[in-house]
């Protein structure tokens, strides 16, 4: 018997089965470099409907379509500006979602009845293999929000997915094991429907990175209203009350970079040495605070103009609760 090849921690036979289950209308939770996604065939209305049911997500919140390459842009979008193509060539595969004018193939059940569609090419090897095999079966893209209940902490491991939504999945749904997500926070979302791009959600693809490859200027998101993932003011919240940039006191849990000392009788959840490590471990650390039963979690948010902007965004929203 020939042994299966393994891609990271997941065999290619398992990935093939997952692609077949997606094509048959079932759900597959899979790793990406940002967080784990809950995927369905983006062309299958009934399958996509189950994503909303499993997540408890409002149906007017659009889903991001994941494709295996830049070629997927022209499948789902039209009137694509040159700067969007430049961004895609520079940062795909990677943690960046582009919002574009949709084609007719992008139905209301994907777009939240908006005239736009979000597209991404993830760089996680398991995600890319899953997409390639799904497309080889005739699939056009996988719709996939984060694999958690709506408004709660995104999962960065298969265990998180099982804990969060396992009881809502059917026997034919799958969860792929891919280790811990590399980046740990959701993709940068960029609106590319008009002359100047707009960052609707910050992420690991930062303003300086965007400015370094395109000649048009970014403008402020307040000038345009659009529903995108994670744009509610209450989001990403654990059960514990999140308090940011405060001095922790006895009985509270605490997350901060390692250079910050832990006060007496404060439980230190995490002491990452770098901002990248902080981002990678943030959601897992927030989940740990809940598992340990803490009522309050104090987080010292790193300062800076890179991925720190995304961390400030996520934790500000988390501090507003659910």
Given a cut of 90, whether residue 218 has pLDDT beyond it is no
Residues whose CB is less than 8 angstroms from the CB of residue 306 and which lie 6 or more positions away in sequence, other chains included: 206, 208, 275
Express each pLDDT in 232-282 by its tens digit: 554 578 999 999 999 999 999 999 999 999 999 999 999 999 999 999 999
> Does residue 281 sit in the same domain as residue 149?
no
CATH number of the CATH domain containing 59: 3.90.870.10
According to the model, what pLDDT value does residue 156 have? 97
Q: Whose CA is closest to 124, among 72, 47, 66?
A: 66
Query: pLDDT at residue 2 above 50?
Result: no
Please tell me whether residue 30 adopts helix, strand or coil conformation: strand
Q: Provide the token pair at 296.
A: 């309050």
3-state SS assignment for residue 15: helix
- The answer to whether residue 24 sits within a structural domain is yes
- At 285 the pLDDT is 97
Domain that holds residue 75: 6-223
Using CA atoms of 152, 158, 164, 167 in order, give the dihedral in degrees to the nearest 10.
150
Residue ending a domain, choose from 223, 256, 275: 223
- Please give the average per-residue pLDDT across 161-172, as a whole number: 95
Same domain, 86 and 213: yes
Mean pLDDT, rounded, of the chain: 92
How would you classify the pairing of strands 64-66 and 198-201? unpaired
Return the closest-CA partner of residue 169 out of 35, 281, 18, 65. Answer: 18
Task: Say how many CA atoms lie within 13 Å of 284 toward its Cβ.
Answer: 21
Instruction: Check residue 219 and give its pLDDT.
Output: 80
- pTM of the entire predicted model: 0.92
Average pLDDT rounded to a whole number, residues 294-311: 95
pLDDT classification of 217: cutoffs 50, 70, 90: confident
The answer on 86 and 201 residing in a single domain is yes
| pLDDT number for residue 3 | 46
* Cβ atoms of 314 and 216 closer than 8 Å: no
Say whether 76 sits in a helix, a strand or coil: helix
- Let me know whether 212 and 258 are in one domain: no
**Do 215 and 249 share a domain, yes or no?**
no
What backbone torsions phi and psi does residue 10 show, to the nearest 5 degrees? -130, 130
Instruction: Rounding to the nearest 10 degrees, give the CA dihedral for residues 176, 169, 47, 84.
Output: -50
Looking at the structure, tell me whether residues 14 and 145 fall in a common domain. yes
Q: Is the pLDDT of residue 103 over 50?
A: yes
Alpha carbons 37 and 41: distance in angstroms, whole number: 13
Per-residue pLDDT for 118 more than 80? Answer: yes
Number of domains in the chain: 2
């Amino acid at each position: 018997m020939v042994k299966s090849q393994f891609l990271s921690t997941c065999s290619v036979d398992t990935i093939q089965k997952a692609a077949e289950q997606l094509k048959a209308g079932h759900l597959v939770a899979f790793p990406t470099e940002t967080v784990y996604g809950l995927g369905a065939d983006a062309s299958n209305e009934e399958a996509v409907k189950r994503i909303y049911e499993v997540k408890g997500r409002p149906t007017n919140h659009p889903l991001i379509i994941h494709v295996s390459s830049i070629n997927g842009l022209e499948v789902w979008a039209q009137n694509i500006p040159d700067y969007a193509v430049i961004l895609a060539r520079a940062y795909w595969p990677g943690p960046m979602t582009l919002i574009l004018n949709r084609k007719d193939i992008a139905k209301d059940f994907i777009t939240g009845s908006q005239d736009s569609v979000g597209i991404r090419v993830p760089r996680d090897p398991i995600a890319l293999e899953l997409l390639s095999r799904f497309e080889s079966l005739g699939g056009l893209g996988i719709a996939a929000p984060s694999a958690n209940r709506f408004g709660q902490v995104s999962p960065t491991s298969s265990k998180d997915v099982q804990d969060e939504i396992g009881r809502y999945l059917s026997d034919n749904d799958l969860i792929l094991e891919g280790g811990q997500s590399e980046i740990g926070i959701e993709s940068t979302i960029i609106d590319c429907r008009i002359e100047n791009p707009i960052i609707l959600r910050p992420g690991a693809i930062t303003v300086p990175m965007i400015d370094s490859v395109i000649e048009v200027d970014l403008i402020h998101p307040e000038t345009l209203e659009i529903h995108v993932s994670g744009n509610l003011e209450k989001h990403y919240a654990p059960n514990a009350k999140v308090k940011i940039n405060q001095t922790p006191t006895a009985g509270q849990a605490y997350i901060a970079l390692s250079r910050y000392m832990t006060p007496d009788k404060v439980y230190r959840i995490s002491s990452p040495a770098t901002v990248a490590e902080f981002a990678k471990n943030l959601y897992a650390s927030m989940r740990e605070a809940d598992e340990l039963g803490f009522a309050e979690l104090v987080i010292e948010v790193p300062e800076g103009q890179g991925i720190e902007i995304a961390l400030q965004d996520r934790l500000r929203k988390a501090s507003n609760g659910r």
